[in-house]
Amino acid sequence: MKGLLRELREYPVRWKALQEVMKNSTMRGALESAMARFAQNRDRAIQEWGDFKAWVEEWKIKKAKALVKGDQLWAGVSRCLEERGGKLFIASDARAAREYIGKVAQASGGHLVVKGKSITSEEIELNPFLNSLGLEVVETDLGERIIQLAGEKPSHLIVPAIHKTKEEVAAIFSEAWGREVPADPYLITKEVRKDLRTRFLSACTGITGINVVAADIPAFFLMTNEGNGRLCATLPSTQIILTGWEKIVETVEDAFAILDILPKNSVGLKYSSYLSVFTGLFPWKKGRSLHVVVLDNGRRSALEDPVLREALRCIRCGACMNVCPVYKTVGGHTFAHIYMGGIGAAWTAITGKLKDAREVAALCTGCGTCLEVCPMGIPIPTLVERVRELCKEGGEAERLAVELVSRRNVLGAIAGMTSMVAPREIRNLPGPAKAITQERVLEKPQRPPFHPWALSHGLEVGRGGKATLYVGCMAEFIYPDIGRDVVELFKALHIPIQIMEEECCGLPARVIGNHDNWRRLARKNLDSIPPGKPLIFLCATCLSAFQEYGKGGLALPEAYMLSQFILKRLGPNGFPGRFKGRVAYHFPCHLERHLGIKREPLDLLKKVEGVDLVEGEEAHLCCGGAGLYAFKCPPIAGEILKKKLEWLEREKVDVLVTSCPSCIMQLRGGVIKRKMSVKVMHIGTFILESLKGMEKTDLKKIKRTMG
C-alpha cells in the first residue's frame, strides 16, 4: 500500500516534468522538422531499393542464426586478429571494458584520446572514466562534439545533436572557443574541422565504434559521413575498436547487406560518405597497436530470454525513433536512459537496471509505428511488454488499475456509479488530475450496458445467429450505443447475430506484463466462444488480443473486424448507403500495425454514395489514447492528440470514423474540448447512419446483396 500511495504522489510530479520538456518549443521544432525529413527520405529510398518486407523476413533468420553461433564466430575472429598483430578482449561487463580501455590508453604514452561516435561507449560511461584517469577525450563526430561541449548525452542513435538548432550550436562553440561563431552550418563545420585537425595529429589513442563485423575474413566495418572515424583509427599510435558482442555476422556478404540497408533506412541516404574496413593492424608507422574490445554486458544472457533476444538483432539505424510519436514529442533525453525509444527500454533491461528500463518503457504507447520501419523485424512493443513483465518493483498503481478494468464485474460497478454521479462531460478534473482533461473532456459511461440491453431485445448467448458479436469492455460499459447500432445495422443487413459471455480481452494485462491475468482471461474467453460461427469484433485492440491467443497455440475461430465482415458479405456488389460530406478514417494502431488491416475500412467507406473521403498520412498517426496511456501520461497523449485534431480542422472534416472505442474516447474528447464541429463515430454507427432514410426498394437490394 505504501508503494501504491508513493506512486500516486509521483504521477503529478512526472506530468509536470513532461510538461516542462514540452514547453521547449525550439527542441520540439528541431525534432519534428528533422524527423519528418528523415521519414520522407527513408520512404523514398526504400521504395527505390526493393522489397523491404522480403528483406526483413530474410534477415530475421540470418541475424538470429549468427547470434546463436556468436561465441564460435568471435573465437575465430580472435585467432585471426592475433595472427595479424591485434588483440581481442571480450569484456564481461561495462567495468571490465572501461578498465581495459583505460589501461591501453594510459600505456599509449599520451594524454589525448580522439573518439568517433559510439553509443556503446555511452553504455559503459567511457568518457567520464577516462577523464578520471587524467586523459582528455575529444569527440570528433560533429554531433557528438556539440553535445560533449554542451554537457549532454546523445538524443538519437544516428544524429546525436538532432535536438539542437544551428543558433544553439553556434552559441555552444562561441562559448567553447571564446569568440563569436556565426549560425551558419557550413562555417561551423569548417571551424570545427580546423580545431579537430590538430587533435587528430597529436592524439596517441583513437577509439571508434563499429557498425558490423564479418566473421569469415574477418573484418570490422565502420560507416561515417565525416571521415572522422577513419582518422581516429589510423593516425594515433593506438587504435581501439569498441563493439557490442551482437554486431557479428557470418560473412562479408552479410555485412555489406546490412551496410546497404542501414543509411537508407535511417535517414534516407543511399550511401554514407565513408566506409572504412579494418582487417588487422595498420602499421603505417612503428609501434602502432590495435585492440578490439567486445562488450558482453548482458547480451549473451539475453540470448536465453525468448523475447529480449530479439533486441540483439538491432543494427542501430534509428528509424524507429524517426516515426515514434512519443520520441517526436519529448525527445531522446526524456524517452531514454542511454538507449532511446521503445527499443531503448529493451536495451536498458539487457545492459543496465530493470528499474531504469521500466522508466523508459512507461513512456511507450505500444502504437507499433516502429514495426513498419524496423529492417530486422524486431517486435519492439512486445519487447516493451517483456520489460514490464520482468520489472517486479514499481508500477503498482498501473497494475491495480488494470486489475480493476480487467474484471468485468468491477468495471461494470465503477461505470455504473460514475454514470449516476458524474456530469455528462467532465471538462476539468481537480488538482493534479487536471492534466488528464487538459486537452480533452471525459464523457460519462452510458446506461444500460450492452449485454443487458441485448438480452432484453431478443439476442441470445451462443445461439440464434449466423455470426457471434464480441463488443469488448469499452462498448459494453462506456459506449454501449456502438453495440446497439451494430445490432441494428445487422438487422438492416438481414444477418442474424448472437452474443457470447465476454471477459476483458486481456490486452491491458499483457501490456503491463501481467501474463498470469492475460492467460486467465484468454482461457475464459476461448471457452465461451460458440463453435462454428465467425466472430465479429468492434474493437481492433480486442481482435489483436485474440490473435495473440492464437500465437500462443490456442485454437481460434474465424475472426473479423466489422468492416472486413461486411465487405466479405458484399463481395463485388455495391452498397446503397448514402452520406454527403467530408469523411476521414482514423486507423487505430492495433488495426493497422498489429493486425495488418489497412484497406478494408476505406474500401467500405468508399462504397457509401456521396462520401468525400479525406486521406493522408495523418490518418495513420496514433491519437495518443492507447487505452490507459492517456491517463498515465496525459501530457504526451494530449500533444499527440493535438496533431490529429489540427489535421481535422485543416481538412474541414465533417465526420471522423474509426474502429476502436478507446480511440473514440480520446478523439471525441479532444473535439469537444476544442469545440469543433466534427462528429466522431464508430464505423458501425456511420454505416448505419448511411442506411437510414433509404427507400424500401434499396433495403430489398441489401437483403439480396447480403443473402
pLDDT higher than threshold 90 for residue 621: yes
Is residue 88 within 8 Å of 81, Cβ to Cβ?
A: yes
Express each pLDDT in 415-441 by its tens digit.
999 989 889 999 999 988 999 999 999
Q: How many helices (H) and strands (E) does the chain have?
A: 34, 20
- Of 111-115, 148-152, 405-409, 535-539, the one with minimum mean pLDDT is 405-409
The three-class DSSP label of residue 87 is strand
Is residue 497 within 8 Å of 490, Cβ to Cβ?
A: yes
- SS3 assignment for 540-588: HHHHHHHHHHHHCCCCCCCEEEHHHHHHHHHCCCCCCCEEEEEEEEECC
Is residue 411 within 8 Å of 473, Cβ to Cβ?
A: yes
Is residue 473 within 8 Å of 504, Cβ to Cβ?
A: yes
What does the pLDDT read at residue 701? 53
- The rounded distance, in Å, linking the Cα atoms of 193 and 142 is 9
What does the pLDDT read at residue 683? 97
Is residue 669 within 8 Å of 443, Cβ to Cβ?
A: yes
For 175-196, what is the mean pLDDT?
94
What does the pLDDT read at residue 694? 58
pLDDT bin (cut points 50, 70, 90) of residue 393 is: confident
Q: What is the dihedral of CA 535, 538, 543, 544, to 10 degrees?
A: 170
pLDDT bin (cut points 50, 70, 90) of residue 403 is: confident
Is residue 532 within 8 Å of 653, Cβ to Cβ?
A: no
For 238-264, what is the mean pLDDT?
97
What does the pLDDT read at residue 697? 46
238-244, strands of its sheet edge to edge: 87-91, 289-295, 238-244, 205-208, 112-115, 136-139
- The helix or strand, by DSSP H or E, that contains position 535, with its residue range, turns out to be strand 535-537
Q: Spell out a b/e string for 368-389, using b for 16 or more CB atoms within 10 Å of the CB, else e.
A: bbbbebbbbbbbbbbbbbbbbb
- The rounded distance, in Å, linking the Cα atoms of 686 and 684 is 5
pLDDT higher than threshold 90 for residue 85: yes
In 3D space, the residue among 238, 240, 261, 246 whose CA is nearest the CA of residue 213 turns out to be 246
Express each pLDDT in 526-565 by its tens digit.
999 999 899 999 999 999 999 888 776 666 778 999 999 9
Distance, CA of 78 to chain centre:
36
Share of the chain above pLDDT 70, in %: 97
In 3D space, the residue among 195, 212, 347 whose CA is nearest the CA of residue 278 turns out to be 212
Size of the chain, expressed as the number of residues it contains: 707
Grid cell listed for 677: 464541429
Which of the 8 DSSP states describes residue 444?
A: P
pLDDT higher than threshold 70 for residue 2: no
568-706 is a CATH 3.40.1340 domain? no
Grid cell listed for 614: 479525406
Q: Spell out a b/e string for 152-161, using b for 16 or more CB atoms within 10 Å of the CB, else e.
A: ebbbbbbbbb
For 168-183, what is the mean pLDDT?
95
- The rounded distance, in Å, linking the Cα atoms of 666 and 490 is 27
What does the pLDDT read at residue 553? 67
What does the pLDDT read at residue 570? 84
Domain map of the chain by residue range? 19-299, 424-563, 568-706
pLDDT higher than threshold 50 for residue 122: yes
Express each pLDDT in 622-664 by its tens digit.
999 998 999 999 999 999 999 999 999 999 999 999 999 999 9
559-561, strands of its sheet edge to edge: 497-499, 467-470, 535-537, 559-561
pLDDT higher than threshold 80 for residue 50: yes
DSSP track, 215-228 = TTTTEEEEEESSSH
The three-class DSSP label of residue 101 is helix
- Of 404-408, 472-476, 493-497, the one with minimum mean pLDDT is 404-408
What does the pLDDT read at residue 572? 76
For 451-479, what is the mean pLDDT?
96
What does the pLDDT read at residue 245? 98
Express each pLDDT in 655-671 by its tens digit.
999 999 999 999 999 99
In 3D space, the residue among 688, 677, 666, 627 whose CA is nearest the CA of residue 482 turns out to be 688
Sign of the alpha-carbon dihedral angle for 672, 677, 682, 684: positive
pLDDT bin (cut points 50, 70, 90) of residue 114 is: very high
Spell out the residues 6+ positions from residue 97 whose beta carbon is closer than 8 angstroms to its own. Answer: 91, 124, 126, 242, 293, 295, 297
- Of 336-345, 355-364, 590-599, 697-706, the one with minimum mean pLDDT is 697-706
Residue 149 corresponds to which amino acid? L
Is residue 259 within 8 Å of 249, Cβ to Cβ?
A: no
- The rounded distance, in Å, linking the Cα atoms of 5 and 344 is 28
Indicate the average pLDDT of the chain: 93
Express each pLDDT in 666-696 by its tens digit.
999 999 999 999 999 999 999 999 998 655 4
Domains 19-299 and 568-706 fall in the same CATH topology: yes
Cα angle 496, 500, 504 (rounded to 5 degrees) comes to 135
> Quick one: CATH architecture of 19-299?
3-Layer(aba) Sandwich (3.40)
